[in-house]
Amino acid sequence: MSTPDIALCICTYNRYDLLPGAIRSAVEQSLPADRYEILVIDNSPDRNRAAAFAEKFATAPNLRYIHEKTPGLSNARNVAASQARAPVIAFMDDDALADPEWAAELLRAYESFGEGAMIVGGRVDPIWASPRPDWVHESMLGSLSIVNWGGEARVAGPDEWVAGTNISFRTSAIRDNGGFPLNLGRIGSGSALLSNEEIKLVERIRESGGQLIYAPRAVVNHLVDVRRLRRDWFRKRAAWQALSDFMMNPDGQAAEARGHWPELIKYFNALPPHERTIRGLLHPTDDPDLFHWQTGAVYMMTTLLLAGFEGVELD
pLDDT in tens, 46-66: 899 999 999 999 888 999 999
Helices (H) and strands (E) in the chain, counts: 10, 9
Question: Which segments of 94-149 are extended strands (E)?
Answer: 96-98, 117-128
- Euclidean distance between CA atoms 197 and 182, whole angstroms: 8
Band (pLDDT 50/70/90 cuts) for residue 310 is confident
* Distance of alpha carbon 112 from the chain centroid: 25
Mean pLDDT of 208-225: 96
**Rounded Cα distance, 13 and 70, in Å:** 11
pLDDT tens digits for range 114-170:
999 999 999 999 999 999 999 999 999 999 999 999 999 999 998 999 999 999 999
pLDDT of residue 188: 63
Q: What are phi and psi of 177, to 5 degrees?
A: -115, 25
Per the CB < 8 A criterion, the answer to whether 263 and 220 are in contact is no
Mean pLDDT in residue range 70-86:
93
- At 12 the pLDDT is 93
User: What pLDDT sits at residue 189?
Assistant: 57
Q: What is the pLDDT of residues 157-200, one digit of tens each?
A: 989 999 999 999 999 999 999 999 877 766 665 666 667 778 88
Gap between the Cα atoms of 269 and 279, Å rounded: 13
Q: Which of 242, 216, 103 is nearest to 160 (CA)?
A: 216
Convert the pLDDT of each residue in 86-97 to its tens digit. 999 999 999 999
In Å, what is the CA distance from 188 to each residue of 8, 215, 309?
21, 30, 31
For residues 2 and 32, the answer to whether their CB atoms sit within 8 Å is no
pLDDT at 191: 66
Q: How far apart are CA 297 and CA 117, in angstroms?
A: 37
The pLDDT value given to residue 187: 67
| pLDDT computed for residue 185 by the predictor | 65
Q: Which CATH class is domain 6-226?
A: alpha beta
Per the prediction, the chain carries an average pLDDT of: 92
The pLDDT of residue 200 is 86
How far apart are alpha carbons 95 and 22 in whole angstroms?
Answer: 6
How confident is the model at residue 176, as a pLDDT? Answer: 92
Residue 36 burial (10 A CB sphere; 0-12, 13-18, 19+): buried
Pick from 90-99, 135-144, 224-233, 239-248: least confident: 239-248
| Segments of the chain assigned to CATH 3.90.550.10 | 6-226
Residue with more model confidence, 282 or 181:
282
